[in-house]
Structure 1
Amino acid sequence: MATLKALAQPPTDKAADWLVGAEDSVTFLKANAQSEEIVIYASGPAVLIHGVLAPAQQVTPADQEDLMHCFVETDESWVIQKSYGGGEGHKVYLEPPLRQGGKSLSGGEKLIFRRSFHGVQKGESPVELSQKLVHSLGLHFVSERNAYCRLDDRGDIEDVIRILRTEFGDVRESLTAVTILAKDLSTYMALANMALVFMFDFTRVARDSFNGWGDHNRIDRSAPDLFYHGGGIANASYVNGRMIVRTAIPLQQLIDDWKEESNPTKREYATFKIFDRKNGVEIETSSAPEFLSNYFQESNLPWEISPAFFRPDVLHRFKSDPEKYTLDDRTISCRNAWYLKGYDINEAGQVHAYIGDLARLPIEEQRYWQSFNEWSKGPISKRAHENDIMGEFSSEYDPLHLLKYKIGKLNDTPPAWWLPRSSEHLDAARYPATDSTFEWANEIMALDQLVVEGFQLKPLRKVLEDKGAKAEPSWASLRVLGAILVATGLSEDQAKTTLTPLSRLHGLRSTLRAHSSITEKDKEERLARSTHGTLRAHFKWLAGECDRAFDAVLRALDAGDLNP
């Protein structure tokens, strides 16, 4: 955009040279055609660039006279045309853009549209893109990026077509440009058998002293794919012409590239330390298919379902970016990129996954996991053994899974006293993967937001009143729940004991995540470690206590048994 701005406004120190140097703008066009990101449209002071597509055979070679007489307005679009006469009577028909494009542009495609909604729309006309182009390239408009985007093979958002705008200070003028990645444009042009035709005009004048062109020096330039005329006087200059850009990617190259991508012999694989379940030994081996076997093959090679073990912080990247990664209890996926099934965490705190599943990840992702790989410190989790090896449902008590299940059921038909928890709340609540205090504090907060914050204070007060009691104005939701438990027959002490886990969770969140003193936070951490060994173990215990308390509250609120 900086280069375009330099074309659109004079530099303060060399304004006189800029005014007479309009032909210098052609240098930008030549460089632009060779760039990785191509400007296909630009409109602003002293700059007009408008690219349209023409059938390649109709501009090979270019009919320069025909093209110089073509001019395509930016607001030209599809219309319902009506005509009468010529012996044909009344006619109504669809007419495409480029209808004034001469024989060279006939059957071509317009890429940029700027239509005006007269009397309604305020400000500049919006920039619209050819839907054929946008859909073919698999693009979606992302407003906060002001770009048409897609997900790349790493799951990251990639700007393919950008809409750029800049203002020029106090003169109330602006420059609007549209760019596209050259590779994508070349791909589209190759498949559509089109060439890009730039119509350009660079006109520079001194506004305070320009009185018209009069008799001025003229220039004419003519090369096969770049031709223009221009001229200038002492305080103004212009160039107006056409430039043809042809695809840099032949159709056969697209076919060859696809063959290369789908060739299994070209795929790369990382090496992992694994426990070879078949032979009962620890080995280091490639994840490539030729180094592995399955239950149905006669071989001494390790099974694909042999586990590799990893330091628990391998999960940090996935937990910290929930927009990009989906982390379920047993699976991890990266949007539009890859999927890993069968991971879990064993009693030793190690993350484990099967080497056959790791082999299906992109090589960059395999190498990421490889950097956390270590020898096993214990067997795979009980849940993984029952699910994956024995083919059975897990017998292991999973309090967080049960809490999410019950909350999901409440969300389906929420009582007045329950504020449905969003999918983001459900996804955010997870067991800590590591023994990090920061991760533990985050998971405590997520669990509190999932469970405690779901209870609605005013409807709970109404429930209590219906049971013949009344809440004090200062009571919060947990205190009202305690009174409801008493109203259903529990003693004050029993109600307090029942709700202690939820109260403990809520208080712990305040201590760990609010502006508490370092001393208080350290005290809670030491207590959790001394009582349960690890912060992960403490969290699992607390989740279990909260699950039992949640069941008691649901019974008191006549919500029934929501256990699966």
Structure 2
Amino acid sequence: MARRFNIEALKAISQAPASGEAEWLVAAEDSVKFLKENAQCEELVIFASGPATLIHAVLAPLKQVTPADQKDLMHTFVQTDESWVIQKSYGGGEGHRVYLEAPLRSGKSLLGGEKLVFRRSFTGVQKGESPVELSQKLVHALGLHFVLERNAYCRLDDRGDIEDVIRVIRTELSPGRESLTAVTILAKDISTYMTLADMALVYFFDFTRFKSGAFNRWGDHPRIERKAPDLFYHGGSIGNASYVNGRMIARSTIPLEQLIDDWKEESNPTRKKEYATFKIFDRKSGVEVETSCAPESLSNYFQKSDLPWEISPAFFRPDVLHRFKADPEKYSLDDRYISCRNAWYLKSYDINEAGQVHAYIGDLARLPIEEQRYWQSFNEWPKGTISKRAHENDILGEFSSEYDPLHLLKYKIGKLNAAPPDWWQPRGEAQIDAARYPATDSTLEWANEILAFDQLLVEGFQLKPLRKLLEDRGGKADASWASLRVIAEILVVSGKTVDDAKALLKPLSRLHALRSILKAHSSVEEKNKEEQEARAAYGTLRAHFKDLAGQCDKSFDTILLALGAGDLNP
């Protein structure tokens, strides 16, 4: 069964080929094959409009099309712009009436059914093609949301990835010619909806092929009529044109009992689940062991068992975090936990003094098996203990006593954001989240984190208001001065010596200069020199970053006092 709808197959029945045009023009009945084949796919077309093609599917109550009243359906036609209306009528002995009228107003087979696709026009205002609208009942019931850049109604799958469930596809058939519009839906989802609504899908289709400028009229011509229980149509052809017009009924392939059984299985706590194996330090026995993270392979403080505690840590190469840092749209990476949209979250992790990422085996067990395997691929034996912060928070149940300069800076920036002075440009949540310690000793990651840190801190200062503040205090700024230089002068007019002011601004100036060297068009030699000096002085790039953050934190406190913001520490 094909996974995705093939737009090329729809194009082939909507426009004449480059060669063999004469044969194509008289073979409109071949288009019915597309409908039959698409009905077996995992993604169904429920609407298509273009040259030679019109497909429009609606829902009809199952009992009213079982069996199908072919005569009634063939005499019924559903307009693409047919919609809900406030109807006004008079006559028939009933006087004036105003009432709400649903679409699908013709034919007994469709009475009580549901229209899925709407194409309304805003006369005199709208330019171009009419927009495609979807039944909100269908969209809401399936838990879908429209994502503009994908032109699709989407949801998140079990891995936290965006899944297109209903797609609106527009494509040009050739430059300057008509376009082709199609709406598709995943077969499983429309089948689920049909089962619960007790409906069937009724396709109205018309395939008419002719050559513009060479077609006069149909006149007397050979006709065809095909009748099967759920597919019936009529058509005809002349020397250079052909058509078929008919109806097809598609029924749900998912019985209600299966939906109930699937739900029972999902909510069954005893259902069989796959778990990965990890190298851990068993806190209970004090030894390194390799064990499955399955609940039956672990124990806790309150159980009498020889099994490892679920709060035993597993250790990983720091590269394990790259995936989460690289895709902030999908993953939320906090100081202590990681989440993937609404799919999963890792309750606790940290980085120890040896630079290893660690997480508890019991928390890893709650991840999807694909995610467990990802973490497993970075698993290694411990090179040290868990971090001091993790020990205090998770084992002792205490607040951490460890100095975390980046955390403190974010806290103070958050307070500035809440009531920003004129000289401060509030930093967005994305900027605050983006500033992190490097997890690895990668030069690229270090450079990226320096950039994010500078954008969070230094770029927050507004030059023009700082100039005004300096002038109000009796100073004067040179036209070439940037924000940090103006702040230094404010410190001087506030009583600091020139040397003290330079020393106080040095960490922020160093951060800004380092950002320019590492991320701008500096020479390779300059970048290598900075990296070598950082490693020589601090051992790792992570340690260098943390030290620089500490210096910036202390300088920031003095700057805030000098600018009149006060002490913003917790």
TM-score with structure 2 setting the length: 0.98
CA distance in 2, matches of 1:449, 1:379: 34
- The partner residue of 1:546 within 541, 549, 552 is 552
Deviates more, 1:87-96 or 1:457-466: 87-96
Cα deviation, residue 171, structure 1: 4.9
1:286-435 equivalent positions in 2, closer than 5 A: 286-435=292-441
Match of 2:125 in 1: 120
Match of 2:57 in 1: 51
Is the 1:260–1:266 contact (alpha carbons within 8 Å) kept by the matching residues of 2? no
Please list the CA deviations of residues 398-437 of structure 1 after superposition, one character each: whole Å capped at 9, or x if unmatched.
0000000000000000000000111111000000000000
Cα deviation, residue 208, structure 1: 2.4
- The partner residue of 1:449 within 434, 437, 455 is 455
Cα deviation, residue 169, structure 1: 3.1
Q: Does residue 135 of the first structure (1) align with residue 140 of the second (2)?
A: yes
Is the 2:265–2:271 contact (alpha carbons within 8 Å) kept by the matching residues of 1? no
CA distance in 2, matches of 1:116, 1:504: 59
Counterpart amino acid of residue 176 in structure 1 = T
Please list the CA deviations of residues 263-285 of structure 1 after superposition, one character each: whole Å capped at 9, or x if unmatched.
33322111111111111111111
Cα deviation, residue 183, structure 1: 1.1
Match of 1:92 in 2: 98
Match of 1:225 in 2: 230
Instruction: Rate the CA distance shift 1:274–1:170 in 2: closer, same or farther, 3 A.
Output: closer
Is the 1:529–1:535 contact (alpha carbons within 8 Å) kept by the matching residues of 2? yes
Cα deviation, residue 250, structure 1: 1.1
CA distance in 1, matches of 2:214, 2:285: 90
- The partner residue of 2:249 within 244, 247, 256 is 244
Please list the CA deviations of residues 264-307 of structure 1 after superposition, one character each: whole Å capped at 9, or x if unmatched.
33221111111111111111111111111122222222111111
Counterpart amino acid of residue 468 in structure 2 = K
CA distance in 1, matches of 2:64, 2:521: 71
1:135-174 equivalent positions in 2, closer than 5 A: 135-174=140-179
Match of 2:4 in 1: none
Deviates more, 1:172-181 or 1:431-440: 172-181
Is the 1:77–1:113 contact (alpha carbons within 8 Å) kept by the matching residues of 2? yes
Match of 2:278 in 1: 272
Is the 1:486–1:492 contact (alpha carbons within 8 Å) kept by the matching residues of 2? yes
Match of 2:3 in 1: none
Query: % of aligned pairs identical?
Result: 78
Match of 1:42 in 2: 48
Counterpart amino acid of residue 53 in structure 1 = L
Please list the CA deviations of residues 140-194 of structure 1 after superposition, one character each: whole Å capped at 9, or x if unmatched.
1111111111111111111111111122335541211111111111111111111
- The partner residue of 1:212 within 213, 217, 222 is 217
TM-score with structure 1 setting the length: 0.99
CA distance in 2, matches of 1:363, 1:108: 42
Counterpart amino acid of residue 208 in structure 2 = T
Cα deviation, residue 93, structure 1: 1.3
- The partner residue of 2:191 within 180, 186, 191 is 186
Match of 1:29 in 2: 35
Cα deviation, residue 492, structure 1: 0.5
CA distance in 2, matches of 1:235, 1:520: 73
| SS of equivalent to 1:380 | coil
1:496-507 equivalent positions in 2, closer than 5 A: 496-507=502-513
- The partner residue of 1:481 within 456, 464, 487 is 487
Counterpart amino acid of residue 7 in structure 1 = I
Match of 2:529 in 1: 523
| SS of equivalent to 2:202 | strand
Counterpart amino acid of residue 501 in structure 1 = P
| SS of equivalent to 2:105 | coil
- Unmatched runs of 5 consecutive residues or more in structure 1: none
Is the 2:518–2:527 contact (alpha carbons within 8 Å) kept by the matching residues of 1? yes
| SS of equivalent to 2:280 | strand
Cα deviation, residue 88, structure 1: 2.9
CA distance in 2, matches of 1:409, 1:501: 21
Counterpart amino acid of residue 561 in structure 1 = D
Is the 1:9–1:45 contact (alpha carbons within 8 Å) kept by the matching residues of 2? yes
Count of aligned positions: 563
